[in-house]
Amino acid sequence: MKAAIIYFSGTGNTEYVCKLFKKYFEENGVSCVLIDVSKKKQLNDDYDFYIFGAPIHSELFPKNYVDWVKQNIKQGDKKCIIFSTQASDKAAGPFEIFNILKEKGYKVLIQDFISMPNNYYVVAFKKPTEEDIKKAKQEADKKVKLLVKKFLDDEINIVKVSKFRFKLAKIVYKMFYEYSKGWAKRNLSVDMKLCVKCLKCVKNCPTKNIKFSNDKFEFQNKCISCQKCLHACPTNAYIYKGKRIDQYKI
C-alpha cells in the first residue's frame, strides 16, 4: 500500500506531524510520500489513500492549502485522514476539507486535531519554551500512533466542531485573509548586513510574495502570515517592526 501525505507547513510543526504519520504507517508496511502543496503543482493518482494536514490560521486552514486540495484532488472514493495542527485544542479548519472531500466522494475515517506550539508569537502570545515544544512533540507522537492504528483497523474517528463555529470562522478568516495580504509589507524588513542572499525566503514563500532585485527585498500584497520567511532565514536577518526576532525551531 502507498499513501500520500498532502500538507502545508509554515514553521515545521505540521511537517513534523506528517513525518510521524509516515513513520507509523511505514512501521505497518505502508509506504508514504510527503507532498508539500507549496512546491508541488500537480498530483498523480496512484495512491491507495490520502492524509491531509495543515496549520490553523485564524480558525481555518490557509486558503492556499484549501484551494490546492479543491483543484488537485479528483473525484474518487479513497479513504482519508484529515488533521490540523494548532496552538489550542481544536479549530474549524478540518471541517472545510471534510466537506470538499465528501463532495468528491472520499471516505474520511479520521478527522482530528494535534496541538502544537504557537508559531505566531512574534505577533501574539508568548514564545513556547523548550519544555512546551518537547511536551507537544511527545503528545503528538502518542496521538499519531493511535490514529494510525485506528485507521488501519478501519475505525472511524471524526472529531467535530459545531456548524456555528465553522460559519463564524469563515467570516473571521475572510477579514484575517485581507489583513494578512499586506502583513509582510507593513511589518517586515531584512537586515542586509546579515543577509547572505541565499534567497531561501524568496524560493520558499508559498505565495511568491517576496521579490529580490537590485540588492533589495520587496514584499508584494500576497502574504498569508505563515511566518516561514522570518523563522527559516539561516542568518536571522529578518526584522519585525524594527526589531530582531527570536526564531522558532522545532
Ligand X SMILES: Cc1cc2nc3c(=O)[nH]c(=O)nc-3n(C[C@H](O)[C@H](O)[C@H](O)COP(=O)(O)O)c2cc1C
Residue 86 interacts with ligand X (CB under 6 A)? yes
CB of 235 to ligand X, least distance (A): 20
Taking the complex as a whole, how short is the minimal distance between the CB of residue 58 and ligand X, in angstroms? 5
Fill in the amino acid letter for 124: A
Least distance (Å) from ligand X to the CB of residue 240?
13
Interface with ligand X, residue 87, by CB under 6 A: yes
Q: Of 180, 142, 138, 144, which Cα lies nearest the Cα of 53?
A: 144
Binder of ligand X out of 38, 118, 207, 209 (CB under 6 A): 118
Residue closer to ligand X by CB (options 2, 241) is 241
Binding-site member from 20, 35, 56, 223 for ligand X (CB under 6 A): 56
- Helix (H, G, I), strand (E, B), or coil: what is residue 3? strand
* Selection from 4, 7, 17 nearest residue 66 by Cα: 7
Is the alpha carbon torsion for 194, 196, 202, 206 positive or negative? negative
Output the nine-digit C-alpha cell for 123. Answer: 505577533
User: Is 12 an interacting residue with respect to ligand X (CB under 6 A)?
Assistant: yes
Rule CB under 6 A: say whether 120 interacts with ligand X. Answer: yes
Q: Please report whether residue 22 would count as binding ligand X according to CB under 6 A.
A: no
- Per rule CB under 6 A, is residue 209 in the interface with ligand X? no
Whether 226 and 232 have beta carbons less than 8 Å apart is answered as no
Q: Interface with ligand X includes 116 (CB under 6 A)?
A: yes
Q: Which is nearer to ligand X, 60 or 148 (CB)?
A: 60
Q: Is 85 in the site for ligand X (CB under 6 A)?
A: yes
C-alpha grid cell for residue 240? 519585525
11 interacts with ligand X by CB under 6 A: yes
Provide the residue type at 101 as one letter. Answer: L
> Is residue 94 within the footprint of ligand X (CB under 6 A)?
no
Out of 3, 5, 14, 24, the only residue in the binding site for ligand X (CB under 6 A) is: 14
Determine which residue in the list 111, 187, 207, 227 makes contact with ligand X, applying CB under 6 A.
227
CA distance 73 to 144: 24
Residue 21 binds ligand X, judged by CB under 6 A:
no
Which among 112, 101, 132 has a CA at the least distance from the CA of 249?
132
User: By CB neighbour count within 10 A (0-12 exposed, 13-18 middle, 19+ buried), where does 201 fall?
Assistant: buried
Span interacting with ligand X, options 12-20, 65-73, 147-155, 156-164, rule CB under 6 A: 12-20
Residues 109/157, Cβ–Cβ less than 8 Å? yes
Does 97 participate in binding ligand X (rule CB under 6 A)? no
- The CA distance from 19 to 84, in Å, is 14
Residue ranges binding ligand X (CB under 6 A): 9-14, 55-59, 85-88, 91, 116-120, 225-227
